[in-house]
C-alpha cells in the first residue's frame, strides 16, 4: 500500500508533506519503472480502506481517523453497511471502515522484481548522467578560468594614467564572460 493518509500516526506530522509528495510521484514512477523493466507492478489507484473488525478496532480506527482528519487528509468514515457495499466479500460483522480515496497500492513482489530487472539499465543511465555532469563541470571550470585569465590580461595592458576606468571595463567584461559561462 502507498497509503500516506491512513498510515499517518501521531508524531509523524513533519513527515506528512514528504509522504504526500512521494505518493503524488508514484504514478509516473510506476509507469517509468514498468517501461524500463517490462514488468507491471500492478499499480492501483482506487483508494485504500482500513477495516475495523470489532468494537475495539472501531474505537482505535475512530481515534486514528479523527487525528488524520485534523491534518486535513481526505478520508471518509464508512458504516458497516457502507463498508460491505464497497467490498461485498468481506466477512459478515465488519464494524466500520475508513476510506482513503487518494491512497493507492502496488504489488510489492512485482515491484521488487521490476526494480531488480531495471537496476542495470538505471545504473548505466546514472553513470551516463554523472559523466555528462562531470564534463559540464569541467567545461564550466575551464570557462571560468578563461574569464579570469582574460581579466588579468586586460588589466595588465591598462595604462597607469587611466587605470581606474580601464580596470572597471576589464571587470565588467569579466562579469559578462562569467555570466556566459553560467548560461552554458
> Superfamily assignment of 13-106 in CATH?
D-Amino Acid Oxidase, subunit A, domain 2 (3.30.9.10)
Under the banding of pLDDT at 50, 70 and 90, the label for residue 129 is: very low
* More confident site: 147 or 94: 94
In this structure, of 34-38, 118-122, 158-162, the range with the lowest mean pLDDT score is 158-162
**Which of 34, 31, 26, 37 is closest to 121 using CA atoms?**
37
Q: What is the mean pLDDT of residues 134-150?
A: 60
The pLDDT tens digits of the residues spanning 85-120 come to 999 999 888 999 999 999 999 888 888 888 888 777
110/83 Cα distance (integer angstroms) = 28
Residue 121 has pLDDT above 70, yes or no: yes
Q: Is the pTM of this model over 0.75?
A: no
Distance CA 79, CA 85 (A): 10
Rg (CA), the chain: 29
Of 35-49, 72-86, 137-151, the poorest mean pLDDT is in 137-151
Asked if 175 and 183 count as a contact pair (C-beta separation under 8 A), the reply is: no
Decide if pLDDT at 44 tops 60.
yes
Domain ranges of the chain: 13-106, 125-183
Q: State how far the Cα of 114 lies from the Cα of 124, in Å rounded to an integer.
A: 16
Q: What is the model's pLDDT at position 156?
A: 65
Q: What do you get for the CA distance between the two ends of the chain, in Å?
A: 43
At 43, is the pLDDT very low, low, confident or very high (cuts 50, 70, 90)? very high
Amino acid at each position: 500500500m502507498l497509503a500516506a493518509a491512513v498510515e499517518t500516526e501521531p508524531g509523524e506530522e513533519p513527515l506528512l508533506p514528504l509522504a504526500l509528495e512521494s505518493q503524488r510521484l508514484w504514478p509516473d514512477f510506476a509507469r517509468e519503472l514498468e517501461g524500463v523493466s517490462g514488468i507491471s507492478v500492478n499499480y492501483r489507484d482506487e483508494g485504500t480502506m482500513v477495516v475495523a473488525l470489532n468494537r475495539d478496532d472501531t474505537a482505535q480506527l475512530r481515534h486514528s481517523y479523527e487525528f488524520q482528519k485534523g491534518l486535513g487528509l481526505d478520508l471518509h468514515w464508512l458504516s458497516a453497511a457502507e463498508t460491505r457495499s464497497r467490498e461485498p466479500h468481506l466477512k459478515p460483522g465488519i464494524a466500520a471502515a475508513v476510506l482513503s480515496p487518494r491512497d493507492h497500492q502496488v504489488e510489492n513482489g512485482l515491484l521488487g522484481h521490476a526494480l531488480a530487472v531495471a537496476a542495470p539499465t538505471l545504473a548505466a543511465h546514472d553513470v551516463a548522467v554523472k559523466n555528462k555532469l562531470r564534463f559540464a563541470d569541467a567545461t564550466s571550470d575551464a570557462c571560468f578560468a578563461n574569464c579570469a585569465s582574460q581579466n588579468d590580461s586586460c588589466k595588465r595592458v591598462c595604462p597607469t594614467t587611466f587605470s581606474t576606468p580601464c580596470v572597471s571595463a576589464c571587470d565588467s567584461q569579466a562579469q559578462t564572460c562569467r555570466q556566459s559561462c553560467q548560461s552554458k
